[in-house]
Structure 1
Amino acid sequence: MNHWLTAPILIPLLGGILQIFIGYAPIPLRRTVALATTVLLLVSTVGLLALANDGSYRVYSFGNWAPPYGIVLVLDRLSALMLLMTAILAFFCHLFAIHKTDESSRQFHALFLFQLLGLNIAFLTGDLFNLFVAFEVLLIASYGLLMQGTGTKRTIPSLHYVVLNLAGSALFLISVGMLYSVTGTLNMADLAVKVPQVSAEDLPLVKAGGLILLVVFGLKAAILPLCFWLPKAYGSATAPVAALFAVMTKVGFYAIVRVFTLIFGADAGPLANLGLDWLFPVALATLAMGVVGAIGARNLRTLITWQVIISIGTLLAAVGLGTEQGTSAALFYLLNTTWIVAGLFLVVDLIAGQRGAAADKIVTAPPMHNRTLLSVLFMLGAVAAAGLPPLSGFFAKLLILQATTPGPQMAWLWGVLIVGSFFTLIAYSRAGSIVFWRTVEGHVAQSERLTLPVTVAAGGLVAMAVVIVLLAGPISAYVDATAQQLFNSAEYLTTLHTPVVVGGL
């Protein structure tokens, strides 16, 4: 039995509960405990990645209830990759937050850890209903995190965010109810076996349930036309929260990849590749809309929020190809865009703190005290986000372009991705030239000094663009193996129907 599969859930759960009990303790103690919890989580995810790298599936059944009746956690290459990516992101965001963000609420660290709890459950669960539970846990925590800070500018965007996600949760429940009414199970492996066997009279109900699921996951991922809530919501959040939220849309991406490869994949009979025909064009439209929004951005934070939408369009366009190579390229791009976008959120916050009243607006202002450092960090992030060599964004987009085969799909993907990258580069170049070069005489009356934690946090995430390039070989091999494992579901089904790892708490 391997109880380490529960570590990504138990560590943030116990850490969050502890933060509630020490809510009135001195803030240095709360910060130390919170950061130590995040470090422990990071260490555990590194171990799980090494464990999953042998290509085997590991299943943990709570209470010794065998699938499909009990709650199961499933560790494979994809879930391990998502866990490690999130843990690295969380560490840098948490390090940045202890600068001043956590002073706004005694429960900031508890909410932060509960957010990680929900994310990790989503990545590990092997059951659709528990995926719904994970969504609710991470969303409830995100509601609180979104309202952190002072002022009323967060109220309306937060309200939109809450209402849309409540509607999404209701649709999620409806869809799983439709699937359960026909198949009698919500275990993903069991659904993968029973969906191809659905009778002709029940087929429309299962198809409708699957398509509603796709809409729900699309809302979580923020694809067009379900993406217009994101710029205001993310743009109004505090920097470390917005940076952590860079992984929120990737939960929707993960759910689409997991569910529609396993349950509605090539072996799903009449429902094979459900929604795939719609996913590719909608993803390209999302990418194009993100580029338009980035060009029209009036401040740096809004520019980065539209970059989130660009990235999800790019990810789903690669997945929409329906091939192992496309999914592998998407996973490589996933690492780049999640860390780089998060790093840019943190860099922009540092820039805004040194520009006085101009903040992050794309307007001329007096020069910053740390202009050289911040301009280099912004430039590195922009180059990686736009996809220019020699940083990771270039190799990620190159892999996506290479994943296409000659035909209409290739023409559309190459055209939209290359043109979109060009205009994204223009948007970043315009913003950078105005903010860093076109300065006016004078000095900012008050500016925030860069402390070591915030500099390391922002610089560390941006530096991942270099780390990915240095480790491009091992990462490419891992994501290739991950895509191959996803498209070969036979071992997943065998393992889940005959669990090899059973444990109880």
Structure 2
Amino acid sequence: MNHWLTAPILIPLLGGILQVFMGYAPISLRRTLAMTTTVLMLVSAIVLLVLADDGSYRAYAFGNWQPPFGIVLVLDRLAALMLVLTATLALFCHIYSIGGADEGNRQFHALFLFQLLGLNIAFLTGDLFNLFVAFEVLLIASYGLLMHGTGTARTVPGLHYVVLNLAGSSVFLISVGMIYSVTGTLNMADLALQVPKVSGENLLIVKAAGMMLLVVFGLKAAILPLCFWLPKAYANATAPVAALFAVMTKVGIYAILRVYTLIFGDQAGELAGLGMDWLFPLALITLAMGVIGALGSESLKTLVAWQVIISVGTLLAAMSLGSEAGTSAALFYLLNTTWVVGGLFLVADLISRQRGTARDRIVTAPRMHNRTFLSTLFLIGAVAAAGLPPLGGFFAKLLILQAATPGIQMAWLWSVVLGGGFFTLIAYSRAGSIVFWRTVDGHVQDPGKLSGTVSVSAGALVALSVVIVILAGPITRYADATAAQLHNSDAYIEILKTPMVGEEN
């Protein structure tokens, strides 16, 4: 067993516990500890990415219990990619928060680190019940983070977020119980063996549970009609929290990708492809709804929140093609959209700071300070989000379009993705022209200077779209290898034969 697998869990866990007991310590000390923890988590994620790149699976069994018994962590290319994606986003969000956004709540950094703990458990766990546990950990932390800050505007959206996710958690637990009652296991590798053997009335129970899980994961991913809670919740959260939440919907997408390729994949017999017939049309409708919401947005943060829904629809449309090419294209797009959307939330907050009472509303206002710098960041982010060349969003969408095979599915995918990209561009063009060009007489009194921490973190996240283009070759190779690994479940099942400590290989 490789003990490195525990690092992304132990690091934020220990850091968060220390933060709980340091609530009354000087804020500079709390910030130093928080940044150190996040940097260490990124380092551990990169180490695991290097380990996973050899194509083999690695398992870590807590208590030395042989799978499928006990708690098991599993590292493969997909898990490593999600860890690096999350740690990179978290680092820049944390840097941004120490510019002042972390003030007013002594436990902000503790909640932030516990949120990362839940995310990392979700990506590494090899057990359905522990995936439920991971969801609960990250959701409990997210409730506190969502309410962080002053004002009452986030109370109602926060309440909607809590109620819907509590309902989703209940359905998740019921569906897990149904699966366990039939198969006698919740280990994912073992389920991949047991589900094809299910027959008769038990087949209907597992099928119902599988569809219920798809609903739960769809709620986490914010797929239509389970997406209307997201725009107001994200738009009213503080900037670093909203930026970190850009990866929250990707947890639901990860769960769909993991569960429905491994447990309900091609080898699942009568349950193969469970729910996938529904996923493709729902993904395209979600994308279209996100575009409509973006066109009607009244503020920059709301516009970016609808961009999250657009990205969810695009990702699920690519995944539901059911091919390695579609999965690979979705993973490439996943990197670009998560980092760019996170960066745009930060940029929207910087713009809000410079516009006085107009804040981030898409209305005319006096000319802002630092307009050249902020407009450049917004332009890069908008181009990357809309999928225009020469940034990463263009290449990601190109790969998605190429993954479709000729037929009615291809016609729908091309029409909705290209049409959605065009109208998304219109939404960003409208917002940018009003905010940066249509100014009125007057000036904003003492907007304050943009500090280096907030400017660098926002700029770095947006600039990662350029980095993705530079590293397009290695990223594409890794995404292709990840997709091939996902669509071949035989190697994952070999985890059940993982030798324990003290056993002879």
TM interval, short-chain normalised: over 0.9
Q: Which residue of 1 aligns with 2:460?
A: 460
The 1-side partners of 2:370 and 2:439 are apart by: 14
Equivalent residue, structure 2, for 1:311? 311
**Any idea what SS the aligned residue of 1:60 has?**
strand
State the match for 1:22 in structure 2: 22
Question: CA shift at 1:2, angstroms?
Answer: 1.6
Aligned to 2:59: 59
Structure 1: distance between partners of 2:88 and 2:496: 33
The question of 1:361 aligning with 2:365 is answered: no
1:43 is aligned to 43
Distance 1:370 1:501, change over 3 A: farther
Partner residue in 1 for 2:79: 79
SS in structure 2 of the partner of residue 103 of structure 1:
coil
CA drift at 1:21: 1.1
| 1:232-243 mapped onto 2 (5 Å cutoff) | 232-243=232-243
Query: Is the CA contact (8 Å cut-off) linking 1:74 and 1:124 kept in structure 2?
Result: yes
- State how 1:103-114 maps to structure 2 within 5 Å: 103-114=103-114
Q: Contact 1:59/1:502 (CA < 8 Å) preserved in 2?
A: no
**Structure 1 residue 272: Cα displacement:** 0.3
Change in Cα spacing, 1:67 to 1:414, as seen in structure 2 (3 Å) is same
Map of 2:497 onto structure 1: 498
Encode CA deviations 1:241-270: one digit per residue, 9 max, x unaligned.
Answer: 000000000000000000000000000000
Q: Residues 94 and 240 of structure 1 are in contact (CA less than 8 Å); yes or no, is this contact kept in structure 2?
A: yes
**Cα shift at 1:502:** 5.1
Q: Are the aligned partners of 1:286 and 1:309 in contact in 2 as well (CA < 8 Å)?
A: yes
User: Aligned letter for 2:343?
Assistant: G
- Write out per-residue CA displacement over residues 46-91 of structure 1, whole angstroms, 9 at most, x where no aligned residue: 0000000000000000000111111000000000000000000000
Does the 8 Å contact 2:223/2:283 carry over to 1?
Answer: yes
| Structure 2 match to 1:185 | 185
Measured after TM superposition, the shift of residue 446 of structure 1 is 2.7
Runs (4 or more) in structure 1 with deviation over 4 Å come to 500-503
Correspondences of 1:248-397 after superposition (within 5 Å)? 248-397=248-397
In the TM superposition, residue 500 of structure 1 has moved relative to its aligned partner by: 4.2
* Cα displacement (A) at 1:384: 0.1
Q: 1:486 matched to which residue of 2?
A: 486
The offset of 1:448, in angstroms, is 2.8
- State the 1:201 CA deviation: 2.1
| Cα separation, 1, equivalents of 2:486 and 2:37 | 31
Instruction: Report the more deviating stretch, 128-137 or 193-202.
Output: 193-202
Superposition deviation, residue 142 in structure 1: 0.1
Q: For 1:121, give the aligned amino acid.
A: I
3-state DSSP class of the match of 2:242?
helix
Residues 128-147 of structure 1 mapped to structure 2, 5 A cutoff: 128-147=128-147
Distance 1:397 1:22, change over 3 A: same
Partner of 2:437: 437
Aligned to 1:203: 203
- Residue 412 (structure 1) aligned with residue 412 (structure 2): yes
Are residues 44 and 222 of structure 1, via their aligned partners in 2, closer, same or farther at CA, if it must alter by over 3 Å? Answer: same
Letter in 1 for 2:155: T
Query: What's the secondary structure of 1:40's corresponding residue?
Result: helix
Instruction: Give me the TM-score of the superposition, normalised by structure 2.
Output: 0.99
- Once the 2 structures are TM-superposed, how far is the Cα of residue 368 of structure 1 from its aligned partner? 1.1
Mapped contact 2:65–2:500 kept (Cα < 8 A): no
Partners of 1:58 and 1:500 within 8 A in 2: no
1:15-74 per-residue CA deviation (whole Å, 9 max, x = no partner) reads: 000001111110001000100100000001000000000000000000001111110000
CA distance in 2, matches of 1:421, 1:2: 44
Query: Do the aligned residues in 2 keep the contact of 1:2 with 1:501 (CA within 8 Å)?
Result: no
- Work out whether residues 118 and 134 of structure 2, in 8 Å CA contact, stay in contact via their aligned partners in 1: yes
**Alpha-carbon distance between aligned partners in 2 of 1:402 and 1:27, rounded to the nearest angstrom:** 50
Which AA in structure 2 matches 1:52? Answer: A
In structure 1, the gaps of 5 or more residues are none
Q: How many residues align?
A: 502
Question: Does structure 1 conserve the Cα–Cα contact (< 8 Å) formed by 2:328 and 2:480?
Answer: yes
Answer yes or no: is the 8 Å Cα contact 2:337–2:385 preserved in 1.
yes
Q: What residue identity is the alignment partner of 1:246?
A: A
Q: Distance in 1 between matches of 2:370 and 2:337?
A: 25
TM-score, L = length of structure 1: 0.99
| Residue 456 (structure 1) shift | 0.7
Q: Is the 8 A contact 2:85 2:335 kept in 1?
A: yes
CA RMSD after TM alignment: 0.8
The answer to whether the 8 Å contact 1:358/1:365 transfers is yes
Task: Give the whole-Å Cα distance in 2 for the aligned partners of 1:107 and 1:22.
Answer: 9
The residue matched to 2:185 in structure 1 has which SS?
A: coil
What stretches of structure 2 of length at least 5 have no aligned partner? none
